[in-house]
Amino acid sequence: MSSEVLVNPRGIFDRGALGVTLEAVPVLIERQRVRFFAQVLGETNLIHFDADVAHAAGHHDLVAPASFFMVVEAAANEERGRRALPSLLDVVVCDFRYLLHGDERYFYDAPIYAGEEVLFASKVVDFYDKKGGAMEFVVTESTITHPKRGVLMRSRRTLLHRLPDAKDGSR
Amino acid sequence: MSELDLSAAEVGATLPDVEFGPISRATLALYAGASGDHNPVHIDLDFAKAAGLPDVFAHGMLSFGVLTRVVTSWAGIGRLREFAARFVSITQVHDRITCKATIIEKFEAEGEQRLRLNLIATAQDGRETLNGHAVVAVS
Protein backbone atom coordinates (compact mmCIF):
# COMPACT_ATOMS: atom_id res chain seq x y z
CA MET A 1 0.00 0.00 0.00
CA SER A 2 1.63 3.26 -1.07
CA SER A 3 1.24 6.50 0.82
CA GLU A 4 -1.06 9.23 -0.40
CA VAL A 5 0.95 11.76 1.57
CA LEU A 6 4.58 11.29 2.46
CA VAL A 7 4.50 13.19 5.71
CA ASN A 8 1.17 13.51 7.47
CA PRO A 9 1.12 16.82 9.36
CA ARG A 10 -1.81 15.56 11.47
CA GLY A 11 -0.14 12.23 12.16
CA ILE A 12 0.61 10.89 15.63
CA PHE A 13 2.60 7.76 14.75
CA ASP A 14 6.38 8.13 14.80
CA ARG A 15 7.32 7.27 11.21
CA GLY A 16 10.92 6.97 12.36
CA ALA A 17 9.94 3.63 13.91
CA LEU A 18 9.74 1.99 10.46
CA GLY A 19 11.90 -1.12 10.47
CA VAL A 20 12.36 -1.16 14.24
CA THR A 21 12.61 -4.68 15.64
CA LEU A 22 11.67 -5.45 19.23
CA GLU A 23 13.73 -8.34 20.45
CA ALA A 24 11.96 -11.31 21.98
CA VAL A 25 10.82 -11.40 25.58
CA PRO A 26 9.60 -14.56 27.37
CA VAL A 27 5.94 -15.07 28.27
CA LEU A 28 4.59 -17.88 30.46
CA ILE A 29 1.27 -19.27 29.19
CA GLU A 30 -0.74 -19.50 32.40
CA ARG A 31 -3.41 -22.20 32.64
CA GLN A 32 -5.95 -20.08 34.46
CA ARG A 33 -5.45 -17.33 31.88
CA VAL A 34 -6.23 -19.76 29.06
CA ARG A 35 -9.41 -20.82 30.88
CA PHE A 36 -10.49 -17.26 31.71
CA PHE A 37 -9.92 -16.03 28.16
CA ALA A 38 -11.75 -19.02 26.64
CA GLN A 39 -14.64 -18.54 29.06
CA VAL A 40 -15.11 -14.84 28.22
CA LEU A 41 -15.24 -15.67 24.50
CA GLY A 42 -17.92 -18.29 25.14
CA GLU A 43 -15.71 -21.24 24.18
CA THR A 44 -17.21 -24.56 25.18
CA ASN A 45 -14.58 -27.00 23.90
CA LEU A 46 -13.04 -28.61 26.99
CA ILE A 47 -9.54 -28.69 25.43
CA HIS A 48 -9.34 -25.06 26.66
CA PHE A 49 -10.46 -25.90 30.21
CA ASP A 50 -9.71 -29.49 31.19
CA ALA A 51 -6.16 -30.87 30.92
CA ASP A 52 -7.41 -34.48 30.85
CA VAL A 53 -9.61 -33.74 27.83
CA ALA A 54 -6.73 -31.91 26.15
CA HIS A 55 -4.40 -34.89 26.76
CA ALA A 56 -6.99 -37.32 25.41
CA ALA A 57 -7.20 -35.20 22.25
CA GLY A 58 -3.43 -35.51 21.78
CA HIS A 59 -2.35 -32.18 23.25
CA HIS A 60 0.39 -31.54 25.81
CA ASP A 61 -1.82 -29.33 27.95
CA LEU A 62 -4.74 -26.88 27.71
CA VAL A 63 -4.85 -25.41 24.20
CA ALA A 64 -4.95 -21.61 23.88
CA PRO A 65 -7.91 -20.34 21.81
CA ALA A 66 -7.20 -19.07 18.28
CA SER A 67 -7.15 -15.40 19.26
CA PHE A 68 -4.92 -15.93 22.32
CA PHE A 69 -2.07 -14.30 20.39
CA MET A 70 -3.05 -10.89 21.67
CA VAL A 71 -3.01 -12.14 25.27
CA VAL A 72 0.60 -13.19 24.73
CA GLU A 73 1.31 -9.80 23.17
CA ALA A 74 -0.20 -7.94 26.15
CA ALA A 75 1.81 -10.11 28.55
CA ALA A 76 4.96 -9.44 26.50
CA ASN A 77 4.25 -5.72 26.75
CA GLU A 78 3.95 -6.03 30.54
CA GLU A 79 7.24 -7.92 30.64
CA ARG A 80 8.86 -5.25 28.48
CA GLY A 81 7.56 -2.64 30.92
CA ARG A 82 9.16 -4.49 33.85
CA ARG A 83 12.45 -4.48 31.93
CA ALA A 84 12.09 -0.75 31.22
CA LEU A 85 11.79 -1.54 27.49
CA PRO A 86 9.24 0.23 25.26
CA SER A 87 6.28 -1.76 23.87
CA LEU A 88 5.37 -1.77 20.19
CA LEU A 89 2.60 0.73 20.96
CA ASP A 90 5.17 2.98 22.67
CA VAL A 91 7.62 2.68 19.77
CA VAL A 92 5.10 3.64 17.09
CA VAL A 93 3.45 6.18 19.45
CA CYS A 94 -0.25 5.29 19.79
CA ASP A 95 -2.95 7.56 21.16
CA PHE A 96 -5.72 5.40 22.64
CA ARG A 97 -8.25 8.19 22.12
CA TYR A 98 -8.06 7.71 18.35
CA LEU A 99 -6.65 4.18 17.96
CA LEU A 100 -8.62 1.49 16.09
CA HIS A 101 -7.90 -1.95 14.64
CA GLY A 102 -7.64 -2.06 10.86
CA ASP A 103 -7.16 -5.75 10.24
CA GLU A 104 -5.48 -8.70 11.85
CA ARG A 105 -4.06 -11.72 10.08
CA TYR A 106 -2.75 -14.75 11.96
CA PHE A 107 -0.87 -17.80 10.74
CA TYR A 108 -1.00 -20.99 12.80
CA ASP A 109 2.07 -23.21 12.70
CA ALA A 110 1.56 -25.16 15.95
CA PRO A 111 -0.69 -24.98 19.02
CA ILE A 112 0.09 -22.76 22.01
CA TYR A 113 -0.11 -24.82 25.20
CA ALA A 114 -0.63 -23.74 28.79
CA GLY A 115 2.38 -24.21 31.03
CA GLU A 116 4.87 -23.34 28.31
CA GLU A 117 7.18 -20.37 28.16
CA VAL A 118 7.23 -18.82 24.71
CA LEU A 119 9.07 -15.91 23.14
CA PHE A 120 7.29 -12.90 21.66
CA ALA A 121 9.05 -10.68 19.08
CA SER A 122 7.77 -7.87 16.85
CA LYS A 123 8.76 -5.45 14.12
CA VAL A 124 7.30 -2.36 12.48
CA VAL A 125 6.92 -3.03 8.76
CA ASP A 126 4.89 -0.17 7.20
CA PHE A 127 3.21 3.18 7.67
CA TYR A 128 0.68 4.71 5.29
CA ASP A 129 -2.11 7.29 5.18
CA LYS A 130 -5.63 7.43 3.71
CA LYS A 131 -8.35 10.02 3.17
CA GLY A 132 -5.90 12.84 2.68
CA GLY A 133 -4.26 12.19 6.03
CA ALA A 134 -7.46 11.89 8.08
CA MET A 135 -6.46 8.31 8.87
CA GLU A 136 -2.97 6.95 9.41
CA PHE A 137 -1.98 3.29 9.55
CA VAL A 138 0.85 1.22 10.97
CA VAL A 139 1.55 -2.39 10.03
CA THR A 140 3.36 -4.66 12.47
CA GLU A 141 4.45 -8.28 12.37
CA SER A 142 4.96 -10.45 15.44
CA THR A 143 5.99 -14.02 16.10
CA ILE A 144 5.42 -16.42 18.98
CA THR A 145 8.18 -19.00 19.18
CA HIS A 146 8.74 -21.96 21.47
CA PRO A 147 12.42 -22.63 22.22
CA LYS A 148 12.10 -26.31 21.19
CA ARG A 149 8.96 -26.53 19.05
CA GLY A 150 9.86 -23.51 16.91
CA VAL A 151 7.44 -20.94 15.50
CA LEU A 152 3.91 -21.40 16.85
CA MET A 153 2.07 -18.37 15.48
CA ARG A 154 2.73 -15.32 13.34
CA SER A 155 0.70 -12.16 13.00
CA ARG A 156 0.42 -9.26 10.59
CA ARG A 157 -1.71 -6.47 12.04
CA THR A 158 -2.78 -3.00 11.02
CA LEU A 159 -3.64 -0.38 13.60
CA LEU A 160 -4.92 3.06 12.72
CA HIS A 161 -5.53 6.47 14.15
CA ARG A 162 -8.74 8.17 13.12
CA LEU A 163 -7.10 11.55 13.51
CA PRO A 164 -8.69 14.55 15.21
CA ASP A 165 -9.55 17.57 13.09
CA ALA A 166 -6.40 19.65 12.58
CA LYS A 167 -8.27 22.93 13.20
CA ASP A 168 -9.54 22.56 16.74
CA GLY A 169 -8.17 19.24 17.94
CA SER A 170 -11.65 17.69 18.32
CA ARG A 171 -12.95 14.69 16.41
CA MET B 1 -12.20 -34.43 16.32
CA SER B 2 -10.02 -36.61 14.11
CA GLU B 3 -13.09 -38.50 12.86
CA LEU B 4 -14.52 -35.37 11.27
CA ASP B 5 -14.41 -35.74 7.48
CA LEU B 6 -13.86 -32.26 6.11
CA SER B 7 -13.00 -33.68 2.69
CA ALA B 8 -16.74 -34.12 2.16
CA ALA B 9 -17.27 -30.39 2.71
CA GLU B 10 -18.52 -28.63 -0.43
CA VAL B 11 -17.84 -25.14 -1.70
CA GLY B 12 -20.88 -23.02 -0.87
CA ALA B 13 -21.66 -24.90 2.35
CA THR B 14 -22.19 -22.81 5.45
CA LEU B 15 -20.99 -23.63 8.96
CA PRO B 16 -23.20 -23.44 12.05
CA ASP B 17 -23.52 -19.81 13.18
CA VAL B 18 -22.16 -18.56 16.48
CA GLU B 19 -24.24 -16.02 18.39
CA PHE B 20 -22.74 -13.82 21.08
CA GLY B 21 -24.12 -11.19 23.39
CA PRO B 22 -25.73 -8.85 24.07
CA ILE B 23 -22.31 -7.43 24.93
CA SER B 24 -22.56 -5.79 28.35
CA ARG B 25 -20.15 -3.46 30.08
CA ALA B 26 -19.36 -6.41 32.34
CA THR B 27 -18.35 -8.43 29.26
CA LEU B 28 -15.92 -5.66 28.29
CA ALA B 29 -14.46 -5.49 31.80
CA LEU B 30 -13.96 -9.27 31.81
CA TYR B 31 -12.43 -9.24 28.33
CA ALA B 32 -10.03 -6.47 29.38
CA GLY B 33 -8.93 -8.57 32.34
CA ALA B 34 -8.74 -11.86 30.45
CA SER B 35 -6.95 -10.47 27.40
CA GLY B 36 -4.67 -7.96 29.12
CA ASP B 37 -5.90 -5.25 26.74
CA HIS B 38 -6.50 -2.49 29.30
CA ASN B 39 -7.17 0.28 26.78
CA PRO B 40 -9.48 2.53 28.87
CA VAL B 41 -11.61 3.46 25.84
CA HIS B 42 -13.36 0.07 26.31
CA ILE B 43 -13.91 0.13 30.07
CA ASP B 44 -13.78 3.69 31.37
CA LEU B 45 -16.71 5.90 30.35
CA ASP B 46 -14.92 9.02 31.68
CA PHE B 47 -11.99 8.34 29.35
CA ALA B 48 -14.28 7.66 26.37
CA LYS B 49 -16.21 10.90 26.93
CA ALA B 50 -13.00 12.90 27.33
CA ALA B 51 -11.96 11.49 23.92
CA GLY B 52 -15.22 12.83 22.45
CA LEU B 53 -16.95 9.45 22.22
CA PRO B 54 -20.57 8.95 23.31
CA ASP B 55 -19.79 5.73 25.16
CA VAL B 56 -17.24 2.96 25.58
CA PHE B 57 -17.21 0.41 22.76
CA ALA B 58 -16.25 -3.25 22.46
CA HIS B 59 -12.69 -4.46 21.94
CA GLY B 60 -12.25 -5.37 18.28
CA MET B 61 -10.47 -8.53 19.34
CA LEU B 62 -13.47 -9.66 21.39
CA SER B 63 -15.56 -9.97 18.21
CA PHE B 64 -12.54 -11.40 16.41
CA GLY B 65 -12.21 -14.07 19.09
CA VAL B 66 -15.90 -14.95 18.86
CA LEU B 67 -15.61 -15.14 15.06
CA THR B 68 -12.77 -17.68 15.35
CA ARG B 69 -15.18 -19.97 17.23
CA VAL B 70 -17.25 -20.51 14.07
CA VAL B 71 -14.25 -22.12 12.42
CA THR B 72 -12.56 -23.85 15.37
CA SER B 73 -15.75 -25.34 16.81
CA TRP B 74 -16.40 -26.91 13.40
CA ALA B 75 -12.93 -27.91 12.21
CA GLY B 76 -10.97 -28.06 15.48
CA ILE B 77 -8.21 -25.61 16.30
CA GLY B 78 -5.54 -28.09 15.17
CA ARG B 79 -6.69 -27.74 11.57
CA LEU B 80 -6.59 -23.95 11.56
CA ARG B 81 -3.84 -22.55 9.32
CA GLU B 82 -4.81 -18.91 8.89
CA PHE B 83 -7.42 -16.53 10.25
CA ALA B 84 -7.76 -12.92 9.15
CA ALA B 85 -10.37 -10.25 9.65
CA ARG B 86 -10.93 -6.61 8.86
CA PHE B 87 -12.66 -4.35 11.35
CA VAL B 88 -15.46 -2.74 9.34
CA SER B 89 -17.45 -0.97 12.03
CA ILE B 90 -17.32 -0.50 15.77
CA THR B 91 -19.13 -3.02 17.96
CA GLN B 92 -21.18 -1.10 20.51
CA VAL B 93 -22.28 -1.96 24.03
CA HIS B 94 -25.50 -4.07 23.94
CA ASP B 95 -24.80 -5.34 20.41
CA ARG B 96 -25.67 -8.96 19.66
CA ILE B 97 -23.21 -10.44 17.20
CA THR B 98 -23.89 -13.22 14.71
CA CYS B 99 -20.84 -14.89 13.15
CA LYS B 100 -21.12 -16.82 9.89
CA ALA B 101 -18.70 -18.77 7.71
CA THR B 102 -19.05 -20.14 4.17
CA ILE B 103 -16.68 -22.48 2.35
CA ILE B 104 -15.50 -20.65 -0.77
CA GLU B 105 -12.59 -22.71 -2.09
CA LYS B 106 -10.86 -26.08 -1.95
CA PHE B 107 -7.17 -25.99 -2.74
CA GLU B 108 -3.85 -27.66 -2.06
CA ALA B 109 -0.94 -26.01 -0.29
CA GLU B 110 2.14 -27.25 1.55
CA GLY B 111 1.22 -30.82 0.72
CA GLU B 112 -2.25 -30.77 2.25
CA GLN B 113 -5.82 -30.26 1.11
CA ARG B 114 -7.22 -27.02 2.48
CA LEU B 115 -10.48 -25.12 2.57
CA ARG B 116 -10.84 -21.37 2.42
CA LEU B 117 -13.77 -19.89 4.29
CA ASN B 118 -15.40 -16.50 4.01
CA LEU B 119 -16.25 -14.99 7.39
CA ILE B 120 -18.65 -12.28 8.46
CA ALA B 121 -19.83 -10.87 11.78
CA THR B 122 -22.96 -8.71 11.93
CA ALA B 123 -24.80 -6.91 14.71
CA GLN B 124 -28.55 -7.33 15.39
CA ASP B 125 -29.44 -4.45 13.02
CA GLY B 126 -27.59 -6.07 10.12
CA ARG B 127 -24.57 -3.78 10.48
CA GLU B 128 -21.41 -5.60 9.40
CA THR B 129 -18.73 -5.39 12.08
CA LEU B 130 -16.03 -7.74 10.79
CA ASN B 131 -15.31 -9.68 7.66
CA GLY B 132 -12.44 -11.93 6.78
CA HIS B 133 -11.29 -15.35 5.78
CA ALA B 134 -9.87 -18.50 7.30
CA VAL B 135 -7.89 -21.42 5.94
CA VAL B 136 -8.27 -24.90 7.44
CA ALA B 137 -6.57 -28.19 6.61
CA VAL B 138 -8.90 -30.96 5.49
CA SER B 139 -6.79 -33.85 6.73
Residues in chain B with CB shorter than 8 Å from the CB of A96 are 39-41, 47, 51
Residue A84 within a domain: yes
Domain ranges of chain B: 7-23+58-137
Residue A75 within a domain: yes
Instruction: Walk across the sheet containing B80-87 and list its strands.
Output: A21-28, A117-130, A135-146, A150-162, A99-108, B80-87, B128-137, B112-123, B97-109, B18-20
Domain count, chain A: 1
Structural domain boundaries enclosing A148: 15-162
Residue A44 within a domain: yes
pLDDT in tens, chain A (171 residues): 444 455 688 899 999 999 999 999 999 999 999 999 999 999 999 999 999 999 999 999 999 999 999 999 999 999 999 999 999 999 999 998 898 889 999 999 999 999 999 999 999 999 999 998 899 999 999 999 999 999 999 999 999 999 987 554 444
Residue A146 within a domain: yes
Residue A26 within a domain: yes
Name the residue among B38, B65, B90 with its Cβ closest to that of A65. B65
Q: What is the pLDDT of residues B25-72, one digit of tens each?
A: 999 999 999 999 999 999 999 999 998 999 999 999 999 999 999 999
How many angstroms separate the CA of residue B71 from the nearest CA in chain A? 10
Q: Is B2 exposed, middle or buried (0-12, 13-18, 19+ CB in 10 A)?
A: exposed
Q: Touching check for A163 and chain B: CB below 8 Å? A: no
User: Which listed CATH number (3.40.50.300, 3.10.129.10, 3.40.50.2000, 3.30.390.30) goes with B7-23+58-137?
Assistant: 3.10.129.10
What is the number of CB-based contacts under 8 A between chain A and chain B? 112
Residue A8 within a domain: no
Residue A9 within a domain: no
Residue A1 within a domain: no
